């Protein structure tokens, strides 16, 4: 079998037999999809590195405090979900996951966007909402394929200009941070799907001053015109 789901109301660990299933492609150890209690697994075993054919690994809603370095050996991994855990850091070895397209890290304890994530050149979806992130590294510009970036409910006070180089972004959620201003080149993100009331960018819950919210509601052109007018003054 190439797909395995391990469930239990109080899952604490992974049966060792799992790591002998070398052809396994999908491993799910998350209660999110079945309305049951949060699992209590605190440690993802080092032996996870034996599953070299994994393409999807779901470990949401556990109590993980650490991800082993061996996760970097999962070279076929395309989707990794680690939301609703207790992670405060990620191993540098995650930067080796060069096929990873979707990464879910919402509701953890990260205080910064790890530099190692900016090495994931194939990433198209990144959710780091509901953490304690106050810093976005300039190396985020390397995520050239990124289409969705969710940063809601963090502690961001500013965005680096490098975010404006992510020209494939369609969705950028920034709500409920501490942003008072946006980068001058923010209007260059012309592929953002602004939709109605600029909800694609979701600035609500930020004390924006420059540009003011009414300018943001006019979309990227309004933001670009705003900063252009400042340069003429």
| Block residue for tokens 């239990």 | 8
Backbone dihedral angles phi then psi of residue 125, each to the nearest 5 degrees: -135, 125
What is d(CA 122, CA 125) in angstroms, rounded to the nearest whole number? Answer: 9
SS3 216: helix
> In which element (H, E) is residue 58 found?
strand 56-58
SS3 27: strand
Q: What is the pTM of this model?
A: 0.92
CA-to-CA separations, 120 to 8, 75, 95, 126, 154, in angstroms, rounded: 33, 12, 6, 10, 22
- Per-residue pLDDT, 86: 95
CA-to-CA separations, 102 to 38, 149, 186, 207, in angstroms, rounded: 22, 10, 24, 30
Q: Encode the chain (233 residues) as per-residue pLDDT tens digits.
A: 699 988 766 677 888 889 999 899 999 988 765 555 567 788 899 999 999 999 999 999 888 999 999 999 999 999 999 999 999 999 999 999 999 999 999 999 999 999 999 999 999 999 999 999 999 999 999 999 999 999 999 999 999 999 999 999 999 999 999 999 999 999 899 888 876 555 677 888 999 999 988 888 888 888 988 988 887 75
What is d(CA 198, CA 112) in angstroms, rounded to the nearest whole number? Answer: 26
CA-to-CA separations, 30 to 9, 54, 79, 84, 165, in angstroms, rounded: 10, 16, 14, 10, 35
């Amino acid at each position: 079998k190439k797909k395995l789901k391990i469930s239990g109301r109080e899952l604490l660990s992974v049966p060792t037999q799992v790591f002998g299933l070398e052809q396994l492609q999908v491993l799910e150890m998350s209660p999110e999809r079945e309305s049951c209690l949060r699992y209590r697994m605190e440690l993802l075993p080092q032996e996870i590195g034996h599953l070299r054919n994994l393409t999807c690994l779901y470990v949401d809603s556990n109590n993980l405090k650490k991800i082993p370095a061996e996760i970097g050996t999962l070279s076929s991994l395309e989707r990794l979900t680690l939301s609703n855990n207790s992670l405060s850091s990620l191993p540098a070895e995650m930067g080796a996951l060069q096929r990873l397209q979707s990464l879910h890290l919402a509701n953890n304890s990260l205080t910064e966007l790890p530099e190692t994530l900016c090495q994931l050149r194939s990433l198209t979806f990144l959710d780091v909402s509901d953490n304690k992130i106050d810093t976005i590294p300039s190396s985020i510009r390397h995520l050239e394929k990124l289409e969705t970036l969710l940063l809601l409910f963090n502690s961001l006070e500013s965005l680096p200009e490098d975010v404006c180089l992510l020209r494939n972004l369609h969705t950028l959620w920034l709500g409920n941070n501490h942003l008072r201003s946006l980068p001058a080149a923010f209007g260059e993100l012309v592929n953002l799907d602004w939709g109605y009331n600029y909800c694609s960018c979701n600035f609500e819950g930020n004390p924006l001053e420059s540009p003011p919210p009414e300018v943001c509601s006019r979309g990227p052109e309004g933001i670009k015109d705003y900063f252009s007018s400042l340069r003429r003054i």
